[in-house]
Structure 1
């Protein structure tokens, strides 16, 4: 029977023919109020009812459908019979038990009881199973017959749409759940297949149609889709946007080759972040020197040499890049000559001149010139000047050259150094000879003084002296004569005094 009402209706049918007649009449007659129908059967709907969950089911062809159902009736009644039925013709309920229908008998299984549960399972559904299904129960009361209307609408299809639901934005570290939904409510245990960027995924699923990403990473960002195993349907891609702070911050230098003073140089800062970093700061050493993703230096100078780094910031954090070194090349400058001594020398001597400069890379090529002369007079960082004049050096590297101011070297004519050396050696030798003479003279004088002192001692002792004189004379006439000469006889002896005679007579023979 077809009713234009929205709640369960009690139907008490006397016979199939009577029911058919009533159905036909209801189809052609104006709709009667529900209260009138209930009054006819003397049944109150307050204690009677059937509910379905869900009331609309979409199933895939060849799948299994479970129609969840529960019913209620007044206390004191006893269930005599329960069964499921369907509308055979649109708008006409035939009230046939589907378990007795050959088309359903092998596929329909009643899972309920005769108290409250009226759940049923229909397997291997076909496109012809698309109907509205009802549960009917009969009690021991004469008027206690009830049909759950409206019933469960089942739609069987082999075409359906899939769609992935995911958060629009997630932050790195969050847990993310993606759900695959179908335009057809899939009640069977269908196996869902997940893909990211068209590559199958094997992540754990809390439910069959849900994909769980725990502690999501930036690598998890991408295009996600789902499908049902055994079916060719694939959902449209849904982009998962993972937010994270700046990572992999780096600095690039343009031009990338050798940078020479006067060039224009651009430093660019790049980072991996989501959303993209919009705040950039530039540092030279520990001092901030600029802002923006690009830092430009026009007509760069050597003062701009140093280590540079950038800092990027987005709403999720900040990060510094590694430092890069900016090495500015420049030609020699501040070239000067250092002269050893005053620059005044004697002819034959030389003065050493040294050349110094500030350059990058350091100058390795030096040339020496004398003013008013076009040809170089020397090379190397040091130069020995042998003649008077004004000299200057010129320093070179691969980026240029610069000359120094000239210095004056004066050479005086005169004895050369070798002559002065000879004179010096002669003077030193003469001084040494004089010293030796003085020493020898001193030694000789000391010897003479010692001898004189000995003679004086002998003369002071008459006995010792007389004996010695006599003894010496007897042995050596010459020595006697010498002593006689050194010690002349006293006048009294020469006159032939008796004392002399006695002395002479005692002289040994």
Structure 2
């Protein structure tokens, strides 16, 4: 039964996608034949007739030179497409008693050209925010996809898309967001991808680690060691070194210690600093122990005479870093008896008191973790009666004693003569003073009594007188005692005479004899 057939598959069901400048051909499924020719073919775009063939032939002026209709099939070819060509196209073909009509859609796109990525900042700090935007120099109806390295980014708590996915925002940025990033722009007729775009993400420092080479529990003084500091940081961290909390000179990731000494023992740390993030981090402490080799070990006694019943000590000493001391007696570990005691971490071995059984060879082994040394001492314990007497005095000894005695005698004689001269000059001065009104000056009565005049007035040359004290007052004098025996002739004493004289008891003060008595007149 003849009639109008709509949408009976005359044209393709799916839209047709083409790029600007390309050619599109809308093929129909119909075929004109001699027995059943087409009566009329009409093509319309957005309900506007652009071509007709049949009883009337018509081509829209806007399509002159760009359009061709194939009479045998009714198909339409449109060349040099523009964006304005996109839309719905319809065809109506009459064939005999039947009339066929169908529509199709043409999509026209600009090709994607020159995809680029830009960012609001290319140097960011971990924890901050960054936005990247994708643009093209040409392209329409675009879709965007973002890649970080080889992985496609999807929306998450940190990653957001906007502006039709052309803008990528990351909040907060972490160190793995440094890229390279790529933007893939596409439409149904073309696609393009941007060049790699890198972000510089500054982070750290963190995980600051301190190591030493060579690694040992203890080092011998004079050794060379190196400390190394590392940290996770971008850009590279700067390092500062500390010993027991005090900053050391120099910087860098390596600290070289050459000819290290015991004073350089202690806890080392390094501090890392990032001048971009303005953050710092400090390592764990690394303990370095430097020990001086043991040298000059000795065991010394408190006295050279070890006497039974007295106190006695042995002292074990050495140069270097002394950590332990171990004592032995006669080759066996020393077992302390009740009268023996260690002091100062076994530095001193004390005997209180010393016994005969303490005799023997004592050895002290001084050690540290890098060296050791042993010192020995042979202890001989004497009884009090076994102490040898001092050696007899020889000729040299006697000569020394005689010289010493002469020096003492000479000094005593000099002092005595000095006082004798002084006393004599005072006596002469007193006898020269004469004057009226005083008592007479009388001479000495023997060698045990001495009389002086009591001068009350003094006669001047002009006949006048000077009164020295009131007439009714008397003078008092002290009693002077001394030895007035005449000295005998002296001679050098013999050794025996010197020893006998030394044994005499010193004369007592009340045994002295008076030189004279001073009495008042």
TM-score in same-fold range (> 0.5): no
Flag the structure with higher helix content: 1
TM-score, length basis structure 1:
0.44
TM-score, length basis structure 2:
0.43
